[in-house]
Structure 1
Amino acid sequence: MPAIHEQYSEELRAEFDYLSSWLPNTHLELGDVGRLHRDRFERLTSLADVGIGFAVRERERGVDLDYSSAAEVAVSTDVDGGPLARVAVSFSRRHGIVFQARSCRISEIADREALGRRVLDLAAAGRWPAAQVVVTEVVATGPAVILVSQQQGASVDLAASAEALSGTIPLASASAGLSIVGSKGVGVKVIAPDGLTPLFRVSGVRPRLFGRKEFGGRGPAGSTVGGPAEGRTAESRTAESHVFAELTYEDVGA
């Protein structure tokens, strides 16, 4: 069975079409530069530190996200008429996930084409390592709760005000006053009233999948359909053979 962070990454990517940060409370920012490694992002530097500026575009506001592993998680709320209510979350399998987040905002680097040209120039000059990527899109949440079971039969009991737990995504809605009453076998418990950056996308340099080399015949070493490599700069050869594109963990093979 996949490790806990691999299962978490696989399920959230299938549901939301984003990469996920691990641990879920890892803080990410647009322009962070680093490497994808075993379903995690390892920050090394930033676009600002390598001399690249960029504009930011806010794409969406106020989107609520609610996900739990299909048929593997049960959430029950007990409101007895008093000021407090209890929530019981149980997991029928290992690595089951509950992900609730309110008021999610999506921001992205506005001109990725211009960014791509700058990064390809750095790559051609040997100043952008092949495995390096840049965070080009981030989902920042409002109040959020993330739970991941460590074992089959795990459970967690939580308490909060009955009024706060009455929303459509009750755990996230009540996160500011949510307390853990009891827990068994739950490996990750993230309660974040001030929000998280749990989802993101990255781009980096990769070989052109359908460039002229693939469609042309083989000539002298380093040649393309457009002519021999002699007389062309390293920068022009890089521009022809590589692109700046969105990448995933599978693309980098880490």
Structure 2
Amino acid sequence: MPKDRPRKYIKAVRGATRMQPSWPPSAHRELGDVGVFRDGQFERKGTMESLFGVKAIPRDVPDNSTSYHCDSNGNVRIHSHGAAGVAAGPAAADASLLLDFGKADAVLFHATGCWSEEIKNIESVEARMRKLSEEKKWPRGYVVVTEVTHAARTTVLMCQNSKERVELKASADPGVSGLDLLTAAGGLSWAGGSVAGLQLLSEGELTPLYRVRGMVRHWFRDDEPGYLDEGTTEDEQGEGEWYVDEVSSETFDVGDEDDE
């Protein structure tokens, strides 16, 4: 797999969902996980409890989305034929999907039956992060997973070249069509056309999306209220305090640098 494919996948899905996508898509994330983003990917170091003595207590996020979808800004077109059979019948039947990818590295991401959890005692977690930062004991670039989204079914495809076509077969209840076929309970299977460079078909019980927070420095400017330059040297001007905020791999990536 090309080295930049994970970053392209993460950028596409994050742009559509406003959440950090797991990489690989089947990777498991848990509340309180601590790590760094390295070249777009989350590198786990431990947990808030094991590393810093604060246990993350979960609670459900109210009124969150039950489904998420990404088609690379319309560059993946879906053509479907619903399952045949008697609508009232209980048996599943085969349906077909034809996916046209309009550009290289286009991503189709679809997750349904979603529910999210967040850290209930987030104030305690953030207080610990700030305290460690003040003591210069919070490692540079470290982030904490503060929200995870679970999905009953997740489908991910990412093509390799432009104008590729993928044919899939879905086992679904009669009458099911369109996007619902992407997460058919009976499963999806490849039926022809191009073989996607990344393929995850109607996989159950994943955590495909999450959010993290990190320590961010606020740089004061001389035109901001509260900026004081009297008695400071040139090197000291512009220094600000650290605070906790939501971050992503697009803005908080340590790259190949040593994060210790």
Normalised to the residue count of structure 2, the TM-score between the two structures is: 0.80
- In structure 2, relative to structure 1, the CA distance for the partners of 1:63 and 1:168 (3 Å cut) is farther
- In structure 2, relative to structure 1, the CA distance for the partners of 1:164 and 1:175 (3 Å cut) is farther
Aligned counterparts of 2:99 and 2:175: Cα–Cα separation in 1: 14
Q: Show the counterpart of 2:13.
A: 12
1:59 aligned to which of 46, 58, 61: 61
Q: Show the counterpart of 2:145.
A: 135
**Per-residue deviation at 1:153?**
2.2
**Per-residue deviation at 1:99?**
1.2
Aligned residue type for 2:163: G
Aligned counterparts of 2:172 and 2:141: Cα–Cα separation in 1: 49
CA contact (8 A) 2:82 2:176 kept: no
Aligned counterparts of 1:223 and 1:76: Cα–Cα separation in 2: 60
1:76 aligned to which of 72, 79, 91: 79
Aligned counterparts of 1:68 and 1:36: Cα–Cα separation in 2: 24
Aligned counterparts of 1:42 and 1:176: Cα–Cα separation in 2: 33
Q: Show the counterpart of 1:232.
A: none
- In structure 2, relative to structure 1, the CA distance for the partners of 1:218 and 1:9 (3 Å cut) is farther
**Per-residue deviation at 1:185?**
4.6
Q: Show the counterpart of 1:151.
A: 161
- In the alignment of these two chains, the number of paired residues is 239
2:210 aligned to which of 192, 200, 211: 200
Aligned counterparts of 2:171 and 2:28: Cα–Cα separation in 1: 29
Aligned residue type for 1:188: L
Q: Deviations over 1:30-81 (max 9, x none)?
A: 1110001222111111112121113222114671222212332121223584
2:228 aligned to which of 198, 216, 233: 216
Which segments of 5 or more consecutive residues in structure 2 lack a partner in the other structure? 86-92, 255-260
**Per-residue deviation at 1:165?**
7.2
- In structure 2, relative to structure 1, the CA distance for the partners of 1:209 and 1:199 (3 Å cut) is farther
Q: Deviations over 1:168-220 (max 9, x none)?
A: 53234315432212241511101243232121111111213449997011535
Q: Deviations over 1:140-160 (max 9, x none)?
A: 111111111111122222112
- Between 212-221 and 28-37, the greater mean CA deviation after superposition: 212-221
- In structure 2, relative to structure 1, the CA distance for the partners of 1:206 and 1:71 (3 Å cut) is closer
Aligned counterparts of 2:220 and 2:206: Cα–Cα separation in 1: 38
CA contact (8 A) 2:80 2:177 kept: no
2:191 aligned to which of 164, 181, 201: 181
Normalised to the residue count of structure 1, the TM-score between the two structures is: 0.81
Aligned residue type for 1:177: G
- In structure 2, relative to structure 1, the CA distance for the partners of 1:184 and 1:249 (3 Å cut) is same
Which segments of 5 or more consecutive residues in structure 1 lack a partner in the other structure? 225-236
